[in-house]
Structure formats: C-alpha cells, structure tokens
Structure 1
Amino acid sequence: MDEGHWIELDGLHKTYRPRRSEPTHALSDITFTVRRGEFLSVVGPSGCGKTTLLKILAGLVPKSEGAVRVAGRDVAGPLPEVGMVFQAATLLPWRTVLQNVMVPVEVQKLDARVYRERAERLLAMVGLEGFEDTYPHELSGGMQQRAGICRALVHDPAVLLMDEPFGALDAMTREYMNVELLRIWRESGQTIVFVTHSIPEAAFLSDRVLVLSPRPGRIAEIVDIELERPRALSAMASDRAGVHVERIRSHFNATGVIG
C-alpha cells in the first residue's frame, strides 16, 4: 500500500445518540492522511472530539459516516496493527510489570516465548530493566507510563495511539518523558498519533500538528513543524518552535478558547 497513506480518514463524522438526551455532534468532515513513521499530534479545546478521534482509529468507538483505514485495513473494530496508550497507565495492580506488558500477547494468543524476549528488550529500552518483577504501586507515575508504552508496543503494532499520556505528570517528569518518547519512536519506527492539551509539547514532538475547532471538531489547520531532528529539549524554547506555537495558538485565540 501507499506508505504516504498509512492512516486515512475520509469524510469522518461522529454523532453520539444517547437514548435519553439530545444527539451530540462530536466530529464533522474529518479528512486527512498520516505517513508511515510519522509523528502527528492532535490539539484542540476541551470537548472538541480529540479522544473520540483516537478511539475511532483504535476501533473502540464506531464512526457515524465516512471511511477510516489503518495500514490498508478498514477499521470496524480493534486491529492488531494498533496499540493504544491511555491518559492513565491502567496497569493491572495484581500483575508484575513484565506480566502487564505481556497482556496483549496473551489476548492475541501470540507465542509467549518469542514476545517475552521482546517485552524484556522494550523494558530495557525505556530504562525499566531490573523492574520486571515489580508491581505497579512500587513505580513512579513516569515509570508506570513507560511500562504502559511497552505494553502498547510489545506486539509490534504499525500504529501507536496516545491519549494525553503525560497529562497527570509533574512538569519535570513530563519533559523527561517527551524526550524519552522521541527516543522510543526513533528506535521503534512506529507511526504515532498523539493527543495533547499542550501546544508547546505538540510542536516539540511532532512532524505535523492537526488543529481541531470547538465541537463539532473540524480540521482548522494541519501545521508542518519545521524543526530539525533529533530534537533536544532546548528546541522547545527556540524561536522557530515559538513561531509554530503561536500559529497553532492563534486558532484558539480567535475563538476565545485556549486548548
């Protein structure tokens, strides 16, 4: 397939129709593509449909209209080609770190011996070597999120979806995790779609940033981030990054809403 269209959305609409209240039009006419290996961030005001967009890509929520394809396959339910990292690490407290990472392997009935080695390599890659037999409550928030990323990557998905994974972390840990995520992305080669409320974070991490309007979420602009890679944390404070941040922020200033 065309690797320039690794993820495709064409005329996507989503309307929630609860039984006892009025319908909610969450997303309207969303059309864009994502290249294989690209890092795309999605920003927008609260309630604009960012998480809904991610859940539709993950096959967790059905679309109302339009086409959604990942790695050449129509998304009609969860796909093995997709891994997802949620806002909280959601590790199972009664399972060790390694056992948590192995959950997708068990669910998809993959060869445990082969994927255990991969799980151990991923844990070493994110700095959790030696913590395989540790339980989630013994880890810091940042360490839990790193374990959650390993769990999403263990079955080698083509696409990694991330829903504000660092939102609950303190500022210093969040900055560290931004740098760590770029290293993981560079070494794993995954295609990432990353939802965040932080415009500077989106500009620092991404190849492009998709800006959504207030609900119903429509594409206001897709901004190319012209910053050299690999990126050091100092790039976040550079003049070039500032230009991108202000361009993205102008969409929210125009509507009186800051994402």
Structure 2
Amino acid sequence: MDEDRWIEVDGLHKIYRPRRTRPTHALSDITFTVRRGEFISVVGPSGCGKTTLLKILAGIVRGSEGTVRVAGRDVTGPLPEVGMVFQSATLLPWRTILQNVMVPVQVRKLDARVYRERAERLLGLVGLDGFEEKYPHELSGGMQQRAGICRALVHDPAVLLMDEPFGALDALTREYMNVELLRIWRESGQTIVFVTHSIPEAVFLSDRVVVLSPRPGRVAEVVDIGLERPRSIGAMASDRAGAHVGRIRKHFDATWVIDS
C-alpha cells in the first residue's frame, strides 16, 4: 500500500442528473493525492462541489467518472476506514454523550467493552471527561462538536473527513477548536481532509490546501503550507502565513463567495 497515495482521486467528475431539470456538473477532472497522516484542507466558493467531493470520498455519493481510492481500496460505498464529521454535531438528543460516541460501534457490531474504553479515552483527550453521562442539550456547541469528533474517531478510522465542522461557532470558540483539532490529529495520527470556507483557517490547520474553482469545481492549485508544527494561533500573524493566505485569495475575485 502506497502511503504517499493514502487517498487518491484521479480524473473525478460528478454530474447530477435530476429527472425534471437540467444536469448540474458539480466536479470536473479532480485529481490529487493525500499522504498518510497528512492534514489537507479544501477551499473554494460556495457551490463549487466541496461537500460533494467529501461525500464521494466517504462513499455516500458515487462519482460519475474517474477513480477514488482510500487506504488502497476503491470507494464504491461507505468504508470502515473512513469517519466523517458534519457541519453540525448531529448528536442524538435522547442518548448521553458516551452513548452518542458509541453509535458507530453499535452500527458496526464491534466489541462494546473494548470500544467503550477507547470512547472514554477520546472524551478525555478532548476535555470531556466527566461529561460522559450528560445529554447534548447540556453541552455548548463547541463541546458537542468535540463529542462529534470522538464519535467519528471511536472505531479508529484511517481517514477523517470534516465538512465545515466549526462554521456555526463564534470566532473565539472556532479558534479554540482549531487548536484542539490539531492536538487531536497529532495524537491520533489520522489522515484528515477538512472542508472550509475560511482561507486563514485552512492555512492554519493544513499541510496543503486544495483550491477549487467555481462550479464545476476544478483543482485550481494545491498550495504547500510548510509552517512549522506544532502551531499556535500566533502563527497566523507571521509573514509566511499571510503570504499563503494572499496567494490563495488571489484565486478568488469579488463574485466568489468565500470567508476572508
């Protein structure tokens, strides 16, 4: 298995063909690779196919043409090697936090005793020890998202896909969650593909940033970030980080909708 091509997307197209309206070409000739253990962000204007790309990697949606492989396997449906974190935590309100984290274990019929220990360790890792028996409404939005990350990691997937997970949080909580995510990533060793509208967030988090064009989404550029790790929020004040943000922003004109 080639760890330099842990995720491989080659010539991917996605065309939606509704019965009563004209086809929509969402993605066009997308090609890139992700190394094992790498943190990749995907940015682009609204409607360029970022979420579609993530759903194809997750096996939730099928591509129309091209090849997609994760951990050496063709993606033709959901893979156990992949975990996904959505824009909202989507926790089940009638389950405790620990019970929510254990949902993938139940779905995959794994050994509950073994994975309960892992779930408890993950909750401790994200600062939620002591909240295992709380219900979602008793936690803040940021705490719920941390629980959602634990749920995606509990079955130890090789790849973690994240679809704008912090977009609904306030600026200070979002910064805190960015730092926490890097810590979790460093300690868990997962490969992460992270979709965001925020260019500074992408630069802060990533080893590389995949920049998509307007629909149909194409790879406009893949930018190597190269900032030293571990990173603190102060890294964003550096000239190098500012140069990366400026380089990515040059791909966007005033008609494109993207956060600054």
TM-score greater than 0.5 by the shorter chain: yes
Runs (5+) with no aligned partner, structure 1? none
The structure 1 segments of at least 4 consecutive aligned residues displaced by more than 2 Å after TM superposition are none
Pairs within 5 Å for 1:195-234: 195-234=195-234
Q: Which residue of 2 aligns with 1:182?
A: 182
Pairs within 5 Å for 1:1-259: 1-253=1-253, 256-259=255-258
How far residue 213 of structure 1 moved from its aligned partner, in angstroms, is 0.1
* Residues 249 and 258, structure 1, Cα contact 8 Å, conserved in 2: no
* Residues 27 and 217, structure 2, Cα contact 8 Å, conserved in 1: yes
The one-letter amino acid paired with 2:240 is R
Distance 1:80 1:226 in 2: 31
Aligned partner of residue 110 in structure 1, secondary structure? coil
Distance 1:157 1:236 in 2: 30
Aligned partner of residue 252 in structure 1, secondary structure? coil
Distance 1:257 1:16 in 2: 22
Q: Deviations over 1:6-28 (max 9, x none)?
A: 00011000000011100000000
* Residues 160 and 191, structure 2, Cα contact 8 Å, conserved in 1: yes
The one-letter amino acid paired with 1:80 is P
How far residue 258 of structure 1 moved from its aligned partner, in angstroms, is 4.2
Q: Deviations over 1:206-254 (max 9, x none)?
A: 000000000000000000002000001100121110000000000003x
How far residue 256 of structure 1 moved from its aligned partner, in angstroms, is 3.7
Aligned partner of residue 115 in structure 2, secondary structure? helix
Aligned partner of residue 28 in structure 1, secondary structure? strand
Aligned partner of residue 134 in structure 1, secondary structure? coil
The one-letter amino acid paired with 1:196 is T
* Residues 46 and 256, structure 2, Cα contact 8 Å, conserved in 1: no
* Residues 115 and 155, structure 2, Cα contact 8 Å, conserved in 1: yes
Distance 1:258 1:247 in 2: 17
Runs (5+) with no aligned partner, structure 2? none
Distance 1:75 1:202 in 2: 25
Distance 2:257 2:116 in 1: 43
Aligned partner of residue 155 in structure 1, secondary structure? coil
Q: Deviations over 1:64-103 (max 9, x none)?
A: 0000000000000000000000000000000000000000
Aligned partner of residue 252 in structure 2, secondary structure? helix
**What RMSD in Å do the two structures reach over aligned CA positions?**
0.7
Paired positions, count: 258
